[in-house]
C-alpha cells in the first residue's frame, strides 16, 4: 500500500508555511495540520481551549505544552498511514519535537522530511504587515498598502481579517520566541538528517517548486 508523505514545514512567522502547506495539501492530497489555525478556530468558536490559547497568542508567546501537545498528536495519529500529513507550526520547541518522535515511534514510521523555509527578518515584517486571513478557511492573503482590504477570500469567498498577533509588538515577540525557543528544533532534526533548507524569499511558485523537488514529488 502506498504511504503518504509525513512532513514538517518549519520557519519563522511569515515564512510562508501556511501558504505552502495549502498548495502541497491540494496537490498531494495530504492532511494539513496547523496548530495556529486550530487555536484560531477554537478562538472563533469561543471554546475554553480558544480562550486559554488567546492569552498567549495575542502576546506572541507559545501556548503551554500541556495545552498544545496532546491535541496535535491526537490529530497526527488519526491520519491514516496511506494519507500522510503536513505539520505547520508544530513542533515549536525541543520538547514538542521529542513528544512527536515518541508518538511516531509507536506508529508505522517517522517523518520523511523537515522543510526549513528561510526568510530575512525585514521581509517577514513586511509580509505580516500586509497579511489578511480568511475567517472561514484561514487561507493567508497579501494585500499591499492602498489596496482594497475588503476583498474576500480567493478560495472560499469568506471574510478577510487581520490577526491580532500581526500587530507590530506581537510580531516582534513572535520572532524573538522563534529565535530563542523554536530554532533549537532545527538542530534536533539536523541530527536526524531530515532537514532541507529552502529560501522562502522568492515567489510563492518558486518556493513551491523547490519544496516539491526536495520531496521528489
Active-site residue set: 17, 92, 131, 163, 174
What's the min distance (Å) between Cβ of 156 and ligand AP5? 15
What's the min distance (Å) between Cβ of 141 and Mg ion? 12
Residue 77 binding result from ligand AP5, Mg ion, none, given CB thresholds of 5 to 8 Å by partner type? none
Q: Is 12 in the site for Mg ion (CB under 5 A)?
A: no
Nearest to 139 by CA among 44, 34, 11: 34
Q: Nearer Cβ to ligand AP5, position 82 or 140?
A: 140
What's the min distance (Å) between Cβ of 194 and ligand AP5? 18
Nearest to 154 by CA among 166, 175, 137: 137
User: Which long-range contacts link 97-106 to residues 24+ away (Cβ below 8 Å)?
Assistant: 97/185, 97/188, 97/189, 98/188, 99/65, 99/69, 99/73, 100/73, 100/76, 103/73, 103/76, 103/77, 104/6, 104/76
CA distances, 20 to each of 9, 34, 65 (Å): 8, 12, 25
Fill in the per-residue mask, 35 to 74: x = in contact with ligand AP5 (CB under 6 A), - = not in contact: xx--x----------------xx--xxxx----x------
What's the min distance (Å) between Cβ of 142 and Mg ion? 13
Residue with cell 491514516: 80
Residues at the contact surface with ligand AP5, assessed by CB under 6 A: 11, 13-19, 35-36, 39, 56-57, 60-63, 68, 89-90, 92, 96, 127, 131, 140-142, 165, 174, 200, 202-204, 207
Amino acid at each position: 500500500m502506498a504511504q503518504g508523505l509525513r512532513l514538517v514545514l518549519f520557519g519563522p512567522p511569515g515564512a510562508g508555511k501556511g501558504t505552502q502547506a495549502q498548495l502541497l495539501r491540494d496537490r498531494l492530497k495530504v492532511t494539513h495540520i496547523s496548530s495556529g489555525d486550530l487555536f484560531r478556530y477554537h478562538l472563533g468558536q469561543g471554546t475554553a481551549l480558544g480562550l486559554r490559547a488567546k492569552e498567549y497568542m495575542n502576546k506572541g508567546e507559545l501556548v503551554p505544552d500541556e495545552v498544545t501537545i496532546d491535541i496535535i498528536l491526537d490529530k497526527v495519529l488519526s491520519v491514516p498511514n496511506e494519507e500522510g500529513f503536513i505539520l505547520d507550526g508544530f513542533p515549536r520547541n525541543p520538547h514538542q519535537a521529542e513528544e512527536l518522535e515518541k508518538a511516531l515511534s509507536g506508529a508505522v514510521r517517522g517523518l520523511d522530511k523537515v522543510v526549513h523555509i528561510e526568510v530575512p527578518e525585514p521581509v517577514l515584517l513586511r509580509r505580516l504587515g500586509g497579511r489578511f486571513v480568511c475567517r472561514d478557511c484561514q487561507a493567508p492573503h497579501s494585500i499591499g498598502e492602498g489596496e482594497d482590504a475588503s476583498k474576500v477570500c480567493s478560495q472560499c469567498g469568506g471574510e478577510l481579517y487581520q490577526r491580532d498577533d500581526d500587530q507590530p509588538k506581537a510580531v516582534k515577540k513572535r520572532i524573538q520566541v522563534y529565535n530563542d525557543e523554536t530554532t533549537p528544533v532545527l538542530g534536533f532534526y539536523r541530527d536526524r538528517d531530515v532537514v532541507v533548507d529552502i529560501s522562502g524569499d522568492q515567489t510563492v511558485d518558486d518556493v513551491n517548486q523547490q519544496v516539491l523537488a526536495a520531496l521528489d514529488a
